[in-house]
Amino acid sequence: MSRPQRVQPAEVPGLSARRIAVDILDDVLRRNRPLDDHFEGEHAHPGLPTLADRDRALVRKLVATVLRRLGTLRRLLDSSLDRGYPDDAPRLEMILLVGAAQIIWLDVPDHAAVDLAVRLAQADRRASRYAGLVNAVLRRIARERSSHVGAEPGLDTPGWLMARWRRTYGGEVARAIAEAHSHEPPLDLTVKNEPQNWAARLRGRDLPTGTVRLIAHGPVSRLPGYDEGAWWVQDAAAALPARLLGDVQGLTVADLCAAPGGKTAQLAYAGARVTAIDRSPARLMRLKDNLARLALAAEVVAADALEWQGGPFDAVLVDAPCSSTGTIRRHPDIAHLKREEDIAALTTVQRRLIDRAVALTRPGGTIVYCSCSLEPEEGEAQIAALLEREPRVRRSPISAAEVDGLPELVTAVGDLRTLPCHLPDADPRMAGLDGFYAARLQRL
């Protein structure tokens, strides 16, 4: 008589999502791998396709919440561990971080967050012996929750970044930037036309800048207007630099470092004859896919912009590679992956790209240089140095009217400077901008 087959019990709901979140968090914090790499491309986490849309969204929310609140969480957990973390269970901290984040900030019942964290520890070969510790620490955090919510401003920002922002913007603004980074950002869309109608249809709002802003629920590709190419995802601040070129109808425009293509799409829709240049074939594939969905055309070139020969162009847009500290609200891993010494290497590349842009621009043409960095070396200082060494260009000041009457976005010399704490709103989920710098120059 044959033995009956043993039926494997179904996995506890939500456990897979937490396990994958711990995997990704471990990869980001201990191996310095960018967060987005885990969700898209050939190196994405292999477990994500097995999850429902809701659980995939939960994975990202879990990891992003931990990264936004990492300083607060680590101080909280350190105070709950009398002997610190054991050396023989490296993933134990990740399990506790994910569990504590759910208890304090996410809409997860305490008992579920604790139980799932204990199960994760039990399933980990090295952490299994500490399952009781996980249970005790998280139950204590749940009991004392109210004393943990009001963290001091800046605690979740690495010290070197806070010190820089205090020097550059002052203590009050630095704290406001850090506070803006603690909230999940809204979804910003650049629409082809009728922003008010699309705002109503998507149950969002149209900003003074023309961007449609909403709180997304579910995959972006399922929103109305996606399939017909009515809009594309682009932070409201990121949509400003291309507009500084003015009326580009019929003009030749080079977009250097163009991928993923939001600015290329803006220029193409405005009627420019765009040449989009980027050194990453993979990122250019995404740009091409976006242009195809939007029914827009551009010449796409896979090349290093520093070496590529072309032009001269009526206008050149340079979206320079940078430390990306202005995008921490959307990419919270950046605060923990970047180091202060990275900035010096990037400024060398930026300087060369600006010089290349000048060479590619015809006399009388326009250059816009921008970077999504809060660091002055990657913005204001670059343009000041260019104007010192290059007699063929001069600054073409930006007016508040060009940025929809928001004078706080324009510096004293006429450059664009947006901060994460700009565009405040009573609902922090609908507030803020990415940190961008842009300067407009005329080729003499």
- Residues noted as catalytic: 372
Hey, what are 43's tokens?
């190196």
316 within 8 A of 439, measured Cβ to Cβ: no
Place of tokens 């009991």: 143
What separation in angstroms does the CA of 219 have from each of 53, 62, 211? Answer: 7, 16, 19
Q: Is-cis flag, bond preceding 312, omega within 30?
A: yes
d(CA 334, CA 328): 6
Q: Residue 255: enclosing H or E segment and its boundaries?
A: strand 252-256
Hey, what are 233's tokens?
């995802």
25 within 8 A of 94, measured Cβ to Cβ: yes
Instruction: Identify which of 395, 394, 384, 375 has the alpha carbon closest to the alpha carbon of residue 436.
Output: 375
Give, in degrees to the nearest 5, the angle at Cα 60 between 116 and 30: 80
**How far is C-alpha 388 from the chain's CA centre?**
33
What separation in angstroms does the CA of 172 have from each of 149, 169, 182, 332, 335? Answer: 21, 8, 16, 21, 19
